Amino acid sequence: MASFKEIISTLPRRKGWTDSNNDLFLYQGFWCYSFFIEGVMSAQQNFQSQPSDIVICSAPKTGTTWLKSLTFAIVTRTTFDDSTSPLLANLSHDCVPFLEVDLAQSSTNRDPKNPLLATHVPYSSLPRSIIDSSCKIVYICRNPKDSFVSFYHFIARLSASKDMKPVALEEAFELYCQGVSNYGPYWDHVLGFWKASLDRPDKILFLKYEEMIEDTILYVKKLADFIGYPFSSEEIKKGSIDKIVSMCSFENLSNLEVNKSGKHREGTPGVIENKIYFRKGKVGDWENYLTPEMAAQLDSITLQKLNGSGLTL
């Protein structure tokens, strides 16, 4: 049988967003770096989901770090509070295992007390057991203009720390519009989860970054209800929701020492400085980077792709 590497070497490929030879490959309709595709292939073969699992799904740069923090704080609130939470000493990515990296080989190396896992895999490529089991999925999406700008800065900052150069913003923009971004096309990613959430509203909670920024308390309550960890009226009176919202705010998390100077996956080739996950955390920052023409081009792709879906971004 061909190895994962051999299969990947036969896939269509495009240059990634940097000057390195780290190409993006087209696997099951989405573009991805080979390291992650190997993990996805392996997880598709091996991962066994439990009914109690809560799977945090997202395309990159749509609010994953935040959603992981909020969900982790919700499910651990009876063990920890806002002065003892592991989120104060660890990046949220280190509190929630990542399917295609940490759980790719086996589902058994998990903390039995932590029902959370996360993935960037599109809905149609999720391991069968996640789709078939009664586990819950929460998905976050974001306006594509802000998501692109966030992505570009992430790659630029990552490149600077790894002696690579990002392609120019205009080139990355063209690639993004063509769907060539890690786990892209972005619109297909969002639509996959959107349609699934309409078919199975009891299984998939579909969230938007902008709506969550607008009324975080409301969405934290919805999230907790959906994943089966509802806040009691006593907790609500005590201000538990507000405490979680404040602890997980951009201001609080980005100013923690661990997120200013710590590193994610230290000692591996995938090491990333935690601070790269925190930039501005604002809605509409695209205006500072995209020309009106670029914005109109992305808006028109978004309109066309989402046409008839009932979804707006």
Among 11, 60, 159, 242, binds ligand A3P (CB under 6 A): 60
What's the rounded Cα separation, in Å, for the pair 195 and 218? 23
216 binds ligand A3P (CB under 6 A): no
Contact range with ligand A3P by CB under 6 A, out of 175-183, 195-203, 230-238, 245-253: 245-253
Distance spanning both ends of the chain, measured CA to CA: 43
166 binds ligand A3P (CB under 6 A): no
Contact range with ligand A3P by CB under 6 A, out of 15-23, 32-40, 63-71, 127-135: 63-71
- From residue 81, give the alpha-carbon distance in Å to each of 78, 91, 154, 253: 7, 16, 31, 15
Contact range with ligand A3P by CB under 6 A, out of 8-16, 107-115, 145-153, 218-226: 145-153
285 binds ligand A3P (CB under 6 A): yes
Among 62, 85, 125, 240, binds ligand A3P (CB under 6 A): 62
Q: Which of 120, 153, 189, 264 does the annotation list as catalytic?
A: 120
Considering the complex, what minimum distance in angstroms separates the CB of residue 292 from ligand A3P? 20
Show the site string, 102-141: x = touches ligand A3P by CB under 6 A, - = not. Answer: ----------------------------------------
Q: Cβ(187)–Cβ(308) under 8 Å?
A: no
For the question of residue 189 being annotated catalytic, the response is no
260 binds ligand A3P (CB under 6 A): no
Length of the chain: 313
What's the rounded Cα separation, in Å, for the pair 33 and 101? 12
**Which two three-digit tokens encode residue 44?**
């598709």
Considering the complex, what minimum distance in angstroms separates the CB of residue 23 from ligand A3P? 22
Q: Provide long-range contacts, Cβ within 8 A and 24+ apart, for 162-168.
A: 164/18, 164/19, 164/20, 165/18, 165/19, 166/17, 166/18, 166/19, 167/15, 167/17, 167/18, 167/19
Place of tokens 């039995």: 112
Cβ nearer to ligand A3P, comparing 198 with 271: 271
250 binds ligand A3P (CB under 6 A): yes
- From residue 261, give the alpha-carbon distance in Å to each of 55, 136, 163: 28, 33, 19
Catalytic residues: 120
